[in-house]
Structure 1
Amino acid sequence: GMVACICVLGVAWLGDTFVSGHTKEIKDFASQTISQYPALLAVVFFLAAMLLYSQAATAKAITPTVVAALGISAANPDNAYMLVASFAAVSALFVLPTYPTLLGAVQMDDTGTTRIGKWVFNHSFFIPGVLAIVFSVAFGFAVCGIF
């Protein structure tokens, strides 16, 4: 029980402290990247979700910046499809092996097959999670192209 408390509270505190200290830089990076390379919207969502540990926090922090960078408005909704197609990338909570649910899964696995490797990105959830996001974003762009 104490391991769970430390994982949940410690990780949330660490993530909030880091992001609160660098919110301006994260928004500036998103705005500059999207204004120069609109096709990287999913990558920006992915990187922000890694740091923010929340889909809602990522959408709240990055979407207004992205909307302004892409020039989306009620009068000019041309690039709005990119937001819809790329939104699946805000599910990158699993990338850093510090998310409490991921740590809980590793802790509760008695077989030893769910583990965190020697490197930061070397864990059991990385490849399946990244593939799911890549396929979801690709499917989103394909469906947006149809409609």
Structure 2
Amino acid sequence: ALLADYPWMLALVLFFASMLLYSQGATTVALMPAALAIGVAPLTAVASFAAVSALFVLPTYPTLLAAVEMDDTGSTRIGKYVFNHPFFVPGVVTIASAVALGFAFGGLLI
């Protein structure tokens, strides 16, 4: 009932799950069938799918760490707080925009 009233909550669930699972595929396989089984609309599932890309949130993903290490200028670094790295804000804004556009244009396509 909660997802029926607030369909954007599925995007939050997918965001936090992929952040902890470090895998877009594992997040999708684990949660999308369950979401569809409890009656989430296909539009909501498709629009929220971009949220499984939250692998960058915790600064432990290998490509994020490699990018920080390869920066010769020193401008890309991880701060003293967990969520204080240069990929956080652009990544969250991009995912939020993709989910919002998915909901906006999904009704036209589905």
Counterparts of 1:36 and 1:117 in 2: how far apart (Å)? 38
Kindly provide the CA deviation profile for residues 40-96 of structure 1, in whole angstroms up to 9, marking residues without a partner as x: 010000000101111111101111111122x25xxxxxx111010000000000000
1:99 aligns with 2:61: yes
Larger radius of gyration: 1
Residue pairs, 1:117-132, within 5 angstroms? 117-132=79-94
1:53 is matched with: 22
2:35 is matched with: 66
> Structure 1 vs Structure 2: percent identity of aligned residues?
61
Counterparts of 1:35 and 1:99 in 2: how far apart (Å)? 33
Q: 1:51 to 1:35 in 2, by over 3 A?
A: farther
Matched residues, number = 109
Q: CA deviation at 1:37?
A: 4.3
Q: CA deviation at 1:145?
A: 2.2
User: Which shifted more, 116-125 or 37-46?
Assistant: 37-46
Counterparts of 1:40 and 1:94 in 2: how far apart (Å)? 20
Counterparts of 1:124 and 1:83 in 2: how far apart (Å)? 29
Structure with the larger helix share? 1
1:80 aligns with 2:42: yes
TM-score by length of 2: 0.91
Q: CA deviation at 1:33?
A: 6.2
Report the 3-state secondary structure (helix = DSSP H, G, I; strand = E; otherwise coil) of the residue aligned with 2:90: helix
| Candidates 42, 65, 73, aligned match of 2:11 | 42
Report the 3-state secondary structure (helix = DSSP H, G, I; strand = E; otherwise coil) of the residue aligned with 1:48: helix
Which structure carries more relative contact order (alpha carbon 8 Å, separation 6+)? 2
Q: CA RMSD in A?
A: 1.7
TM-score by length of 1: 0.69
Structure 1: gaps spanning 5 or more residues? 1-31, 73-78
